[in-house]
Amino acid sequence: MQFGFMQRALVVSALAATACGIVGTFVVLRGMAFLGDAIAHSALTGMAAAFLFGANVFLGALCWAVPASLVISALSRRSGIRIDAIIGVVFAGGFAVGVIIINSLASYAGDLLGILFGNVLGASWLDVLSVGILAVGVLVVVWAFYKELVFTTYDATVAEAAGVPVRFLEYMLPLLVALTTVAAIKTVGNVMVMSLLVVPSVTGTLLAQRLSSIMAASVVCALLAVVIGLYCSYYFDLPTGPTIVVASVGLLLLVAVLSPRRGFLMSWLRPKSSEASASDS
């Protein structure tokens, strides 16, 4: 932590992980896991265009991801096409156009790796500020609409009957996913951004039952993955983004085995204890 690049990397990653843990909880519980992946992959077009014209790649991703999220929401409501099909189209089309643009450049290999798999060790203080603004903005919106988001997550039909603006929230949540995705792209890259958005939240569902507790557990798991991934990448000379992803998946596997609520080990031991108590009685 004596190096400035490690300090900036930790701050950027922590901000992105916090936003991913909060928004990812709604994404997982509402079955929208691939929405973030589609937005991230389609954002490659905006990133590539920004790189082509010498603009800020982060800003290019934002300018593409936000309209893409709104288009997905609008088409799913008005066209009658299933949302998973629309997500697939946006995923494939945006990613393909982005690869074509990058491939047209004279020298792109190193830059492509940074875009696809992240370059958090190269984060500047401007990147820290940009990610911080996005993360804080996302958290403020979630705090302001927390009750409505919880209501619609568990029963959208009853929520709409109760006067909750369900249609507005159906546009707002994908927008939050887009903003969170862009914030996380700097940390783990375009390809693996879904892992930081989804994996810690899945881990949180194994550790807690209440939505607020799941959020807290998701944020803690995301932050742990970031810290472990950063230190492992530094000391073992590994790529930072993929190492953070591996750490996050490793935490999920550990919790999946040892969780007192739904762990594999406890589910394997529980029938034996119940049989023993039955025989004793």
Please tell me the predicted confidence (pLDDT) of residue 281: 47
Whole-prediction pTM: 0.82
CA distance 117 to 15: 18
Q: Is 222 left (phi over 0), alpha (psi -120 to 50) or beta?
A: alpha
In tens, the pLDDT along 30-51 reads 887 778 778 888 888 888 888 7
pLDDT > 60? residue 277: no
pLDDT > 70? residue 263: no
pLDDT > 80? residue 203: yes
Nearest Cα to 174, choosing from 12, 273, 268, 33?
Answer: 33
pLDDT > 50? residue 275: no
Percentage of the chain beyond pLDDT 90 is 21
pLDDT > 50? residue 160: yes
Q: What is the CATH number of domain 4-280?
A: 1.10.3470.10
> Is the dihedral angle over the CA atoms 232, 238, 188, 26 positive or is it negative?
negative
